[in-house]
Copies of this chain bind each other. A is one copy, B any other.
């Protein structure tokens, strides 16, 4: 019987604020026996996403907390090396729920096939045609329902999701304004991705005024990864029937204090607007329809994206912190 020795990084205690090395334990383990319906994946890439920080906390988010003593959960992509599933065979490339480790055991219900026939490299299936890219796709198109000529405002527009949201909105004929934290990122959005305007939020004293200036007809769609003050400033600049796509809450993620919601919620009523949250997991089963569309845009050069690939499992915790320092340069992942 084949066995799979694997290095693992376990969650040892629940972080207070930012993740610290002392919250983790690095161990070696051997995977061998699995239950019916399970597979073992040789992880080729680990996806690092802000939601992981949420799963480390005691309170339920949309998943229960990661159990202490368990490898930190993350999305992985890799090759099936052992299967007790009728859905997946050894040699298949799959993505789904795994952990900070070289090998992961996964139940078949938490795993999806990666369509390698599209001709994109395996790592792209954690970025532009993975959950991140499809978050942009479904969030903007299915929740936001953009109409050509509308104004789309994107927070963290230079991020993995935001940069794709802006480009898809341009494909759909919208005016697109992005927010980013450095001049370099702002330049990239306008010069390389075709955004119509940008707001450098680290150099903006009055965010509401900056949004009013760059979105003179109001904001029809706000794709929000941030919440907090930026959401509040946007609420003051909504067009009638505006849609706010609520896709994250980085601003509150490392705080143990309760974070108040937006002060200007009243505007939702005044503008007949809508705030809608969505989880990409509800769309996984539809990926077979959307991933080929996105893959074609990529091959046609209509969609550009960046990946920030860190080498080596051992560097995963340090890499993870890039998400909260804003220093990652595209979709963050670890190559095993």
Contacts and interface: CB of A to CB of B under 8 A. Distances in A.
B227 A248 contact: no
A204 interface: no
A246 interface: yes
Interface in A278-324: 278-279, 282
A268 interface: yes
Interface in A259-293: 259-279, 282
B268 A277 contact: yes
A131 to B, nearest CB: 14
* Residue of A60, A247, A262, A272 with most partner-chain B CB within 10 A: A272
23 contacts: A60-B270, A61-B266, A61-B270, A62-B270, A62-B271, A227-B265, A246-B269, A247-B269, A260-B263, A261-B262, A262-B265, A268-B275, A269-B278, A269-B279, A270-B277, A271-B277, A272-B276, A272-B277, A272-B279, A273-B276, A274-B276, A275-B275, A275-B276
B277 A269 contact: yes
Interface in A222-249: 227, 246-249
Given A62-B269, A274-B275, 10 more contacts: A61-B266, A61-B270, A246-B268, A258-B263, A267-B277, A268-B276, A270-B277, A271-B277, A272-B277, A272-B279
Contacts of A278: 269, 272
Nearest to A265: B261
A194 interface: no
A65 to B, nearest CB: 13
A181 interface: no
* Residue of A61, A268, A273 with most partner-chain B CB within 10 A: A268
* Interface bin, chain A: 20 to 34
B249 A265 contact: yes
Interface string A46-67: 0000000000000011100000
Contacts of A330: none
Contact of A269 (B248, B259, B273): B248
A84 to B, nearest CB: 30
A252 interface: yes
Contacts of A273: 276-277
A235 to B, nearest CB: 9
Q: Which 3 A-B pairs have the closest CB atoms?
A: A261-B261, A260-B260, A269-B277
A261 B264 CA distance: 7
A261 B268 CA distance: 11
